[in-house]
Amino acid sequence: MEAMAHKNLKEPIIITTYQTQCLEDYINDGGYETLKNVLTKYKPNEIIEQIKASELLGRGGAAFPTGIKWDFTAQIKADHKFVVCNADEGEPGTFKDRWILEHKSYSLIEAMSLCAYSVGGDKGYIYIRGEYTESINSIRKALKEAYDNGFLGENILKSGFSFNIELRRGDGSYVCGEETALIESIEGKRAFPRFKPPFPGIKGLWGYPTVINNVETFANIVPIIKNGADWFKNYGTEHSSGTKLYSISGSVNKSGIIEANLGVTLKELLDAAQGMKNSKTFKCALIGGASGGFVYKDELDLPLSYETLKKAGKTLGSGAVLFLSEDDNEESLLKNILTFFKHESCGKCTPCREGYPKLIAMYEAFLENKIKAEDIMKLADVMFKTSLCALGQSVRMPLETYLSRKYKKL
Amino acid sequence: MDNKIYVKVDGKLYRTAKGTNLLEFLKSVNINIPTLCYHAKLSKTAACRLCLVKTNKNNIITACTQEITENMEVITSDEEIEYLRRSVFELLVDELNTDCDTCQLDGLCELQQLAKQFDVKLHKKSNKYKQDTSSPVLTYNPNKCVKCFRCIKACDEIEGKGVLNFAYRGQDMYVVAGLESWASSECDGCGECVQVCPTAALIEKNLLNFDKVIPFEKHVTTCIFCGVGCQMDVWLKGKEILKVEGADEIPNHGSLCVKGRFGIDGLLNDDRLKTPLIKENGEFREASWDEALNLIAKKLTYIKEKYGSDAICGLSSAKCTNEENYIFQKFIRAVIGTNNIDHCARLCHASTVTGLIMSFGSGAMTNSISELEKADAILITGSNITEAHPVIATFIKKAIKNNNETTAQ
Ligand SMILES: Cc1cc2nc3c(=O)[nH]c(=O)nc-3n(C[C@H](O)[C@H](O)[C@H](O)COP(=O)(O)O)c2cc1C
Ligand code: SF4
Ligand code: SF4
Ligand code: SF4
């Protein structure tokens, strides 16, 4: 991405490029060269092998290997296959996809076309968060230019390959970012998540095989194909290759988007964000958004990669990092999180629909010392084990990472 | 080689076809798994989260969404499974107004049965949501709604109408017809939703006239409103009709239309003829069947003897069943001794009967009704099926939905 284009990301950098790109600049920079090259010189499975070799993990939160995902869909014979870009970006504290949508829109479209070529897709959708007016405008413009210049549509660059992309707007519901709910929404239905399996890669949009990837995942595709899997693996850690866009917010001096290698420590991110605001001391950070976990002082040196956080019982999720100082209060933040989930629960399944209101009542009772933390965790555990989608499952992590810390202190 | 595979359930080995739905399989071998959102006639939902089991492939899953695969081992009950099922069930009933004591369906409700199974007490609570009583035939009480999606799916998948969906989200969610209410929606009152509802959230309006459905008697009969011949269960309390359900038989497989389900209250109406009437001096008077039949026999015998058999003709009705029509023509031919027998359908159906004989060799249906579902093309002439034969219309709608190629014109 920004740093990757310069091929020398050593230290975390704050993204500062906020001027909009135009097609001419993109093309002068080698844009659409990769697509042209691939369409004329490479077989679809060669691209998939390249993505597999890069070990790119999905950036939407679940960190599923992208190459393997594409391969599933490529293997199936079907009359239609779809490629969907998940640009719903609903995770609280996450705003990195927005930057890509507004500043790397051409690369995104090129990547979706590459994906379609690799898996045999004929139609694409970009499902974009409705509130992102600027992003919608920038994608609209980029799509029009791509059509006007033969990069999209029938017989792309006279290669015989055809691919169309349509833009769909979300309408302010967090669950629409869940891939199967998003698919229902594109189909014109209410966004209730589907059960999995079957996964979208096998049976997705209108029952056809569908690759669905996060914006940031797609943004890594052109650089990988252009520079090769080995180049990509220079960045990041052994099991989390590449760089990551971290959405930094909270009580730091410089909030914004920071691009850094996967495996960067929280301390390094804090330094890049120019430290805590008003010289306050760092208390903890919430990593991964509302469905993420709290990381405390003694974990400042923990490398932020998918595998290390998983091992520590946390998640990198979307890469949102919310810094809290001594003056900030995790207790009320947690209350906020619970209220958020209650508000966003789609209502389809019992444990999430009925669990969140109860969890809030219990949490309030807990703050008044009327019940024990274990009681809350019991319910959170039932929700984790029995909810249909991750919206109902994920609350266990913020609760557990906070409450287990609180016990220790007690 | 068949495609049967082994599956181990609670240590016991079974053989079944690969890909069989786990919940359906467990039911078939009489292993009781709690569920509310599952319904044999509907697609899987996985919403209630009660049919939890463990497999050797996944820790905890819902049985209703699991296909049986090679070397699968299933545990249907252990401490954790029971704990989780019960916890989910408790969350569910916590929000409902389970006023079983004053509920018509006391003793028939699926939620109540599960509560017994889980040993969870059900209590009366205050109503949180407003009821929708706007439909002339049914009422919806969201305070008893377990949000199982069955009604929504029945309306969509069985009836092809898609009138229902949930409005709002999370705990505020409840079923809404159309944009606002049953009365203002496109609901035509077939009542398919009522029949699949596991609780008393959706019930026939008529039931509100009774305290309890139990005890009741159930009689199977044939609907007399149209030629589809739907089989139905009529629930009776003494001589009063409680409600009518579609019987799971050929041809309707459980479905009914508004006429069959809600139209037979005329049976007990005071305006209906209940005894034969004999006209004397220009006035009708009530008579017994014996008296009326004796009078008819006397007059027919008189006419036959005086003017001959051909002076009499019989005309029967499409409102009668095939069996009744058969007996009637037999009577006219064998007892009266004339071929002067006709039927109202000869006028309206003569053209189709002739056309069918010429094309297919028989002047009646050459296929079963449910086979319509598999038709590649359906030609409809001169019929408004959704009104005239609504249950047949559901099969045609299914054909169109299941198979993109099907055209009905
Ligand atoms: C409640 C919920 C919300 C989600 N929101 C988003 C989102 O806004 N953007 C996104 O890319 N993925 C989101 N996801 C994850 C997607 O379901 C899916 O895993 C992702 O789009 C896959 O893309 P990837 O493999 O490139 O990460 C969400 C998941 C859940 C359960
Ligand atoms: S977990 Fe929550 S958001 Fe997900 S399906 Fe269940 S109710 Fe809907
Ligand atoms: S009304 Fe009945 S069938 Fe419909 S969702 Fe509620 S409980 Fe289920
Ligand atoms: S379609 Fe309706 S009227 Fe006709 S037999 Fe069936 S229930 Fe009766």
Please choose from B111, B141, B145 the residue to mutate so as to test ligand 3's pocket, defined by most ligand atoms within 8 A of CB.
Answer: B145
**A380-401 mean pLDDT:** 97
Question: What's residue A11's pLDDT?
Answer: 80
On whether any CB of chain B is under 8 Å from the CB of A80, the answer is no
- Is any atom of ligand 1 closer than 6 Å to the C-beta of A60? yes
Question: What's residue B14's pLDDT?
Answer: 96
B165 to chain A: closest CA residue: A190
Cα dihedral B327, B329, B330, B335, rounded to 10, equals: 120
A383 to chain B: closest CA residue: B88
Give the distance, in angstroms, between the CA of residue A289 and the centroid of all CA atoms in the same chain.
11
Q: What is the predicted ipTM?
A: 0.93
Chain B residues lying within 8 Å of A347, measured CB to CB:
147, 166, 168-173
Among left, alpha and beta (phi > 0; psi -120 to 50; other), residue B160 is left
Q: Collect contacts of A237-241 with beta carbons under 8 A, ≥24 apart.
A: A237/A261, A237/A262, A237/A263, A237/A303, A237/A305, A237/A307, A237/A308, A239/A55, A239/A305, A239/A306, A239/A307, A240/A57, A240/A63, A240/A305, A240/A306, A240/A307, A240/A316, A241/A54, A241/A55, A241/A56, A241/A57
State the span(s) of chain A assigned CATH 1.20.1440.230. Answer: 330-406
How many whole angstroms separate alpha carbon A398 and alpha carbon A214? 23
Question: What's residue B264's pLDDT?
Answer: 84
- Is any atom of ligand 4 closer than 6 Å to the C-beta of B230? yes
Choose the mutation target among A80, A175, A346, A348 for the interface with B, i.e. most B CBs under 10 Å: A348
How many whole angstroms separate alpha carbon B227 and alpha carbon A373? 65
**Which residue in A190, A195, A348 is closest to B65 by CB distance?**
A195
Q: Which residue's CA is the nearest one to ligand 3's atom 5?
A: B147
Rounded to the nearest angstrom, the distance between the alpha carbon of A13 and the centre of ligand 3 is 54
Closest CA to A377 of A390, A391, A395: A395
- Where do the domains of chain B lie? 4-92, 102-110+124-212, 215-272, 277-343, 346-408
The CATH superfamily label for domain B215-272 reads ADC-like domains (2.20.25.90)
Shortest distance between the Cα of B85 and any Cα of chain A, in A, equals 9
Closest CA to B87 of B49, B54, B58: B49
Chain B residues lying within 8 Å of A195, measured CB to CB:
44, 46, 62, 65
Burial B65-98 (b: 16+ CB within 10 A, else e): bbebeeebebbbeeeebeebbbbbbbbbbebbbb
Q: Which residue's CA is the nearest one to ligand 2's atom 1?
A: A392
The pLDDT tens digits for A348-373 are 999 999 999 999 999 999 999 999 99
Q: Do B169 and A195 touch (CB under 8 A)?
A: no
Cis peptide before A198 (omega within 30 of 0): yes
Q: Name which CATH class applies to A18-233.
A: alpha beta
Question: What's residue B408's pLDDT?
Answer: 63
The pLDDT tens digits for A86-133 are 999 999 999 999 999 999 999 999 999 999 999 999 999 999 999 999
Shortest distance between the Cα of A179 and any Cα of chain B, in A, equals 17
Q: What interhelical angle do A105-119 and A96-103 show, nearest 10?
A: 90
How many whole angstroms separate alpha carbon A28 and alpha carbon B236? 82
Closest CA to A238 of A213, A261, A268, A266: A261
A92, two tokens: 């609280």
Rounded to the nearest angstrom, the distance between the alpha carbon of B222 and the centre of ligand 4 is 9
Distant-in-sequence, close-in-space partners of A304: CB < 8 Å, separation ≥ 6: A244, A246, A262, A263, A264, A265, A266, A269, A287, A316, A321
**Residue A165 half-sphere exposure toward CB, CA atoms < 13 A:** 31
Average pLDDT over chain A, rounded to an integer: 94
Shortest distance between the Cα of A388 and any Cα of chain B, in A, equals 7
The pLDDT tens digits for A285-344 are 999 999 999 999 999 999 999 999 999 999 999 999 999 999 999 999 999 999 999 999
Specify the DSSP element, H or E, that contains A146.
helix A133-148
DSSP character for A153?
Answer: B
Query: A-B interface: how many C-beta pairs under 8 angstroms?
Result: 79
The pLDDT tens digits for A155-204 are 999 999 999 999 999 998 999 999 999 999 999 999 999 999 999 999 99
Work out the burial of residue A290: count CB atoms within 10 Å of its CB; fewer than 13 is exposed, 13-18 middle, 19 or more buried.
buried
Choose the mutation target among B21, B36, B79, B87 for the interface with A, i.e. most A CBs under 10 Å: B87
Please state which of the four CATH numbers 3.40.190.80, 3.10.20.740, 3.40.50.2000, 3.40.190.10 is assigned to the domain occupying B4-92: 3.10.20.740
Burial A240-261 (b: 16+ CB within 10 A, else e): bbbbbbbbbbbbbeebbbbbbb
**Which residue in B92, B166, B172 is closest to A350 by CB distance?**
B92
What CATH code would you report for B102-110+124-212? 3.30.70.20
Alpha carbon distances (Å) from A55 to A49, A75, A84, A306, B28 = 10, 19, 20, 12, 45
State the span(s) of chain A assigned CATH 3.40.50.11540. Answer: 18-233
- Is any atom of ligand 4 closer than 6 Å to the C-beta of B263? no
DSSP character for A87?
Answer: E
Question: What's residue B347's pLDDT?
Answer: 78
Q: Name which CATH class applies to A243-325.
A: alpha beta
Q: What does each of the 409 residues of chain B score in pLDDT, given as a tens digit?
A: 568 999 999 999 999 999 999 999 999 999 999 999 999 999 999 999 999 999 998 789 999 999 999 999 999 999 999 999 999 999 999 989 999 999 999 999 999 999 999 999 999 999 999 999 999 999 999 999 999 999 999 999 999 999 999 999 999 999 999 999 999 999 999 999 999 999 999 999 999 999 999 999 999 999 988 889 999 999 999 989 999 999 999 999 999 999 999 998 788 888 888 899 999 999 999 999 999 999 999 999 999 999 999 999 999 988 888 889 999 999 999 999 999 999 988 777 888 888 889 999 988 888 899 999 988 888 888 789 999 999 999 999 999 888 766 666 6
Residues in B whose CB is inside 8 Å of some CB of A read 44, 46-50, 52, 59-60, 62, 65, 84, 87-88, 91-92, 94-95, 147, 149, 165-166, 168-173
Q: Name which CATH class applies to A330-406.
A: mainly alpha
The pLDDT tens digits for B198-229 are 999 999 999 999 999 999 999 999 998 888 99
The residues facing B231 across adjacent strands are B222
Q: Which residue's CA is the nearest one to ligand 3's atom 6?
A: B145
pTM here is 0.92
Q: Do A354 and B91 touch (CB under 8 A)?
A: yes
**Residue A359 half-sphere exposure toward CB, CA atoms < 13 A:** 33
Q: Do B95 and A354 touch (CB under 8 A)?
A: yes
Q: Do B169 and A357 touch (CB under 8 A)?
A: no
Residue A410, pLDDT > 50, answer no
For the beta carbon of residue B129, count every other beta carbon within 10 angstroms: 15
Rounded to the nearest angstrom, the distance between the alpha carbon of A71 and the centre of ligand 4 is 51
pLDDT band (50, 70, 90) for residue A5: very low
On whether any CB of chain B is under 8 Å from the CB of A184, the answer is no
3-class SS string, chain B: CCCEEEEEECCEEEEEECCCEHHHHHHHCCCCCCCCCCCCCCCCCCCCCCCEEEECCCCEEEHHHCECCCCEEEECCCHHHHHHHHHHHHHHHHCCCCCHHHCCCCCCCHHHHHHHHHCCCCCCCCCCCCCECCCCCEEECHHHCCCCCHHHHHHHHHCCCCCEEEECCHHHCEEEECCCCCCCCCCCCCCHHHHHCCCCCEEEHHHHHCCCCCCCEEEEEECCCCCCCCEEEEEEECCEEEEEEECCCCCCCCCCCHHHHHCHHHHHCCCCCCCCEEEECCEEEECCHHHHHHHHHHHHHHHHHHHCHHHCCEEECCCCCHHHHHHHHHHHHHHHCCCCEEECHHHHHHHHHHHHHHHHCCCCCCCCHHHHHHCCEECCCCCCHHHHCHHHHHHHHHHHHHCCCCEEC
